[in-house]
Amino acid sequence: MEYILRASPARLLSLWTLLLGCCNIAGLRPTPSVMAESLDIVKVSAVAGGDATLPCDTRSTQASDVLLLVVWYKNDVPLYSYDGRIKGPTAHWADDVLGGRARWHAATPSSLRIRDVIPTDRAMYRCRVDFKISPTRNHKILLEVIELPEKPKIFDEFDKEVVGVAGPYIEDTSLKLTCVVSGGKPMPRIRWWRDDKVIATLAPVDDESRLSLLELRIPKLSRDYFEAVYTCTADNTVLVPPLRVNVQIQLYLRPLFVEILAREQPLSVGQAAELACKAVGARPPAIITWWMDDRQMSVAAIQKNSDDKNETISFLRWTPRMDQDGRTLTCRAAHVKLEHTTIETSITLNLHYVPIVTLELGSKMNPNDIEEGDDVYFECMVRSNPPAYKVVWEHNGQIMTHNQRAGVIAGSANLALQGVNRSQAGNYACTASNVEGDGKSQPVKLQVIYKPVCLATSTAIVGAAINEPTKVTCEVDAFPPPKNFQWTLNNSMGTSEIEPEKYILNGVGRSVLFYTPSSEKDYGSLACRATNLAGQQVEPCRYSLLPAVRPDPLANCSAVNLTDDSAEIRCVAGYDGGLQTSYFVEVWESKNLVANVSTAQPAWILRGLGSGKSLRLVFFAANARGRSETVMMRINTLARLALHTEAKSGKAVGVDASWALGVIAGIAGTLVVIVVIALLARRRQHQPMQYEAPMQTVKAYKGAIQSTNHSPVQPDDKNPDVVPLGKDFNSARDLERPPEPPPYGTVMSPPVGSSRSSNSLHHHDMRPVTPHTPITPASDAHSIGTLAEDRRSVTSGTFSRRREVVTTRTPLLANARESCV
């Protein structure tokens, strides 16, 4: 009879264990060839909830050997087995305590793998391996189950949990954050980080509360901590990354500086303008307001912030008014949350970092008492690791170089300015560089005090009438602005100081003198001196105070461009009497007044005169004291026939007739043209070369007039109908100022001469005549004249004053020029 014994792996394992026990009771001991035991303990760590791999070497030392049985024990209690003699799934057996979480893997290296490890899996495991030939082997494995701590939490000084962002805090206040971690076995290590650098560490400690706390304290929150990110980490194993939580520091930052950006073009009264004011450094962005003196402007301004919110620009768009001249325009930047921050248009770790640079004025220097000529030095303090290899100095954003000859001595730690001057005032900064980057200091503003200097570069002439008040303005450039002015009068009686009650301060660096001469002895030379902290003005502002009189007559009048219907006239003005002066021209045809035109400059363009007219022009100047003597000249407008003949000269007129008549007409026309050209050439040969008409002038002007009339006259054979202005003529550049005024009451009347020609412009009868035309003051630099015949407007351009010889030409005078000096 055949018996088949069937048993489960657990029963077989029990029987095998019982058999070994019986052998022990009987005193039988297995020989070394039957069992071998390893005394080494292998430590294995696993994270709770993760996988654990318990190694067990099942390789035999003999090639023909066969693995029979592998048994796993937990604290000497069978836990899992694998029977190599059984094929199929039944070869594996596991105790219920594993709950199907364990599996034996025979692949080299063989191991028992446990899924979803729990804290109770922490124990000493033993692996017993039975071979058919080789002795039994035992391996001990200590499984350490690591329980991770909870995710860290951050609390502020008020024990309120902080999530994501801490603050906002006020700049320069303190901060305390606490990182709290619960649980964990073994106890976790807690660390604070900033920018991948550990700044605080709490080592694992045994605490029954299973609670770990680590504080982060910052005594003073500077701008460097704005939006800084700190990280708290907790870890008790290297098997998984540390648990972490981040927090960003938010600050209220006051504005650093504010400035009004320079404009390329000056502001103009009555014209819309735009100014920009930039504030830097405020968080949240600053609120910018505009002020005129001490009153906020009601004009709306547009405010824009940069992408990084670090800069705020306000655009003021308004139209300046005349009454705003000399007033103070202020740009103010205020913080929306912080009071008293409004400004107007001021470790022992061996870590590498960008240089931290601080710039200071010399410790023995008073920044508010630096005058021109003083020696100034700056100290650049650099904290850097590795050391800075270069220090660069900047002045108003421009890099400075060492120049001992110019008094600039630049070193790595100091900058010396010998004999400083006003041009060296401004913002200074130093930049230190190392391999990490460049660190730049905050700018230090250098203010240089200097004595007042007159803004005017020459002596001004002021006209004043007896017993009439006159206002004289003195403007100086100085820092700080002067508070005191002194006026003196120098005349034939000597030098006398003017009473302080007669002048006032009117704006920054400006004094206005209200002076009323009572007699001729009150005229002379005025001098104005200002005084500030640097001292009294060295060279005063000077003014020549002369009696206000009526203007002198015009001189050097010429027709520079003459056509059949228009004329361009220029004159040189005489002394204006020290007052605003207007210039008049009257156009007479026989006894009829054709036009009366006034301008701010002695230059006119008269149109609509008519062709072939003989006209008389009367010139005079007028101011508040009266009008000058008149000066007269004559002109003849060109005839239209002359222009028509010249335009068609050299061309035959065709006749719509037979061929023979056409030939005869052509020959006759040619002969006529030849005769006309011959007559014209003969007439030109007998024509005078120059026509002069002297006009009344002042003897004191003669030298100035003669010095300007020295340019030779160049021939011109192009024979234009209209002589235009030269291409190089510039009204503001080519006309000079009038000469210095003559002595008071000196007026000379030289003899009058004339020259005439039937074929040229007539400049004659240029003698003083009695004024008879009402004065029409000029409103601007252009003149509008209305002719009696066709009421057309007569307009002239604006010219500045200059003495020169100007000529006119007619189409019939190819080589002759006509001038009036």
**Which pLDDT tens digit goes with each residue over 395-445?**
999 999 999 998 999 998 899 999 999 889 999 999 999 888 898 999 999
The model's pLDDT over 119-168, given as tens digits with 9 standing for 90+, comes to: 988 999 999 999 999 999 999 999 999 989 999 999 999 999 999 999 89
pLDDT in tens, 675-686: 778 777 665 554
Q: Which of 40-44, 246-250, 384-388, 472-476 has the lowest mean pLDDT?
A: 384-388
Q: Which two tokens stand for residue 201?
A: 């560490």
Q: Which two tokens stand for residue 161?
A: 């949990």
CA–CA dist 528, 473 (Å, integer): 9
Work out the percent of the chain whose per-residue pLDDT is above 90.
34
- Tell which wins on pLDDT, 49 or 650: 49
Distances in Å between the Cα of 271 and the Cα atoms of 265, 266, 317, 406 are 12, 11, 10, 44
**What are the tokens at 655?**
């006749």
DSSP-assigned states of every residue in 563-598? -SSEEEEEEE----TTS--EEEEEEEETTEEEEEEE
If you average pLDDT over residues 447-473, what whole number do you get? 89
Q: Is the model's pLDDT at 795 over the cut of 50?
A: no
Q: Strand runs (DSSP E) across 5-134, as ranges?
A: 35-47, 52-55, 67-74, 77-83, 92-94, 102-105, 111-114, 123-131
pLDDT computed for residue 207 by the predictor: 64
- Whether residues 180 and 51 fall in one domain: no
Q: Which residues contact 336 (CB under 8 A, 6 or more apart)?
A: 284, 286, 287
616 vs 751, which has greater pLDDT?
616
780 vs 685 pLDDT, higher one: 685
Same domain, 207 and 244: yes
Spell out the residues 6+ positions from residue 443 whose beta carbon is closer than 8 angstroms to its own: 359, 427, 428, 429
Q: Is residue 800 part of a domain?
A: yes
**Residue 629 confidence (pLDDT) above 90:** yes
Contact, 525 vs 545, CB < 8 A?
Answer: yes
β-pair partners for 434: 437
Question: Is 725 part of a structural domain of the chain?
Answer: yes
How many angstroms separate the CA atoms of 403 and 707, rounded?
47
What is the tens place of the pLDDT at every residue in 340-363? 888 887 434 356 778 889 999 988
Give how far Cα 645 sits from Cα of 50, 375, 539, 812, Å. Answer: 117, 81, 67, 11
Q: Name 73's Cβ contacts closer than 8 Å, sequence gap at least 6.
A: 79, 125, 126, 127, 128
Q: Give the least confident one: 24-33, 556-565, 743-752.
A: 743-752
- What distance in Å separates the CA atoms of residue 274 and residue 304, rounded to the nearest whole number? 14
User: Residue 208 — very low, low, confident or very high, per pLDDT cuts 50/70/90?
Assistant: low
> Same domain for 240 and 261?
no
Query: For position 336, what pLDDT does the model report?
Result: 84
Same domain, 572 and 699: yes
| 737 CB-near residues (< 8 Å, 6+ apart) | 800, 801
747 has a pLDDT exceeding 50: no
Are 797 and 704 within one domain?
yes
Same domain, 587 and 537: no
Per-residue buried b or exposed e for 547-572, using 16+ beta carbons within 10 Å of the residue's own CB: bbbbbbbbbbbbbbbbbbbbbbbbbb
Task: Assess whether 430 and 360 both reside in one domain.
Answer: yes
Average pLDDT over residues 216-234: 92
Is the pLDDT at 86 greater than 50, yes or no?
Answer: yes
CATH of the domain at 166: 2.60.40.10
The answer to whether the beta carbons of residues 748 and 697 sit under 8 Å apart is yes
| Average pLDDT over every residue of 646-663 | 44
Mean pLDDT of 762-783: 38
- Judge if 428 and 495 occupy the same domain: no
Residue 253 DSSP label: B
Print burial letters for 250-267: b (CB count within 10 Å at least 16), e (below 16): bbbbbbbbbebeeeeeee
Rounded CA separation 365/258 (Å): 26
Using the predicted structure, report yes or no on whether residue 503 has a pLDDT greater than 60.
Answer: yes
Mean pLDDT of 442-470: 89
Spatial distance between the Cα atoms of 127 and 661, rounded to a whole number of angstroms: 145
Does the structure show a pLDDT above 90 at 689?
no
Please check whether residue 1 lies inside any domain of the structure: no
pLDDT band of residue 201 (cuts 50, 70, 90) is: confident
Examine the pLDDT at 1 and tell me if it is beyond 60.
Answer: no
Rounded Cα–Cα distance for residues 628 and 465 (Å): 17
pLDDT digit string (tens) for 249-269?
999 998 988 888 877 777 777
- Which is nearest to 380 in space by CA: 298, 441, 338? 441
Same domain? For 487 and 619 the reply is no
Instruction: Using alpha carbons, select from 126, 101, 110 the residue that is nearest to residue 50.
Output: 101
Whether residue 557 is predicted with pLDDT greater than 90 in this model: the reply is yes
Q: What is the pLDDT of residue 274?
A: 83
Q: How confident is the model at residue 772 (pLDDT cuts 50, 70, 90)?
A: very low
Residue 813 has pLDDT above 60, yes or no: no
Q: What is the residue range of 180's domain? A: 153-252
Say whether both 376 and 465 belong to one domain: no
62/602 Cα distance (integer angstroms) = 130
Last residue of a domain, one of 146, 180, 196: 146
Which of these three, 315, 344, 373, is where a domain ends? 344
- The answer to whether 204 and 185 are in contact (CB under 8 A) is no
DSSP state of 763: B
Q: In what order do the strands lie in the sheet with 102-105?
A: 52-55, 111-114, 102-105
Using DSSP's 3-state secondary structure scheme, residue 678 falls into helix
Q: Is the pLDDT of residue 180 over 90?
A: yes
Is 96 part of any domain? yes
- For residue 317, being part of any structural domain is answered with yes
Q: How many CB atoms lie within 10 A of CB 152?
A: 21
For residue 84, pLDDT beyond 80: yes
Measure the CA–CA gap between 625 and 627, rounded to whole angstroms. Answer: 7
Mean pLDDT of 514-541: 91
**Cα gap 810→719, rounded to integer Å:** 7
Give the tens place of pLDDT for each residue, 256-304.
Answer: 888 888 777 777 777 777 888 999 988 888 888 988 888 888 887 888 8
650 domain residue, yes or no: no
Q: Is residue 603's pLDDT more than 60?
A: yes
Number of H helices, E strands in the chain: 5, 57
Give dist(CA 807, CA 757) in Å, integer: 15
Please state the rounded mean pLDDT for residues 718-724. Answer: 33
Is 727 part of any domain?
yes
Say if residue 281 is in the same domain as residue 248: no
Residues 80, 85, 91, 95, Cα dihedral to 10°: -20
Q: Is 663 contained in some domain?
A: no
Output the average pLDDT for the chain: 76
- Residue after which a domain boundary falls, among 344, 374, 400: 344
Q: Is 146 exposed, middle or buried (0-12, 13-18, 19+ CB in 10 A)?
A: buried
Cα–Cα distance measured from residue 430 to residue 360, given in angstroms and rounded to the nearest whole number: 10
CA atoms within 13 A on the CB side of 185: 12
Sheet holding 555-562, edge to edge: 555-562, 566-572, 603-607
More confident residue, 204 or 415: 415
Say how far residue 173 (Cα) sits from the centre of its chain: 33
Instruction: Identify the three-state secondary structure at position 726.
Output: coil
pLDDT band at 109 (very low <50, low <70, confident <90, very high): confident
Residue 322 has pLDDT above 90, yes or no: no
Judged against a pLDDT cut of 50, whether residue 458 lies above it is answered with yes
Three-class SS state of 22: helix
Considering only CA atoms, which of 187, 191, 180 is closest in space to residue 208? Answer: 187
Q: What is the pLDDT of residue 511?
A: 94
E-strand spans in 286-389?
A: 287-292, 295-296, 301-305, 311-318, 329-334, 343-344, 353-361, 376-385
Q: Are residues 222 and 170 in the same domain?
A: yes
Tokens describing residue 315: 């655009």
Residue with tokens 């009987």: 26
Tell me the average pLDDT across 11-35.
42
The residue among 683 and 513 whose pLDDT is bigger is 513
Amino acid 675: pLDDT: 75
Cβ atoms of residues 317 and 345 within 8 Å: no
Q: Return the residue matching tokens 């729990």.
A: 118
The number of distinct structural domains making up the chain is: 6
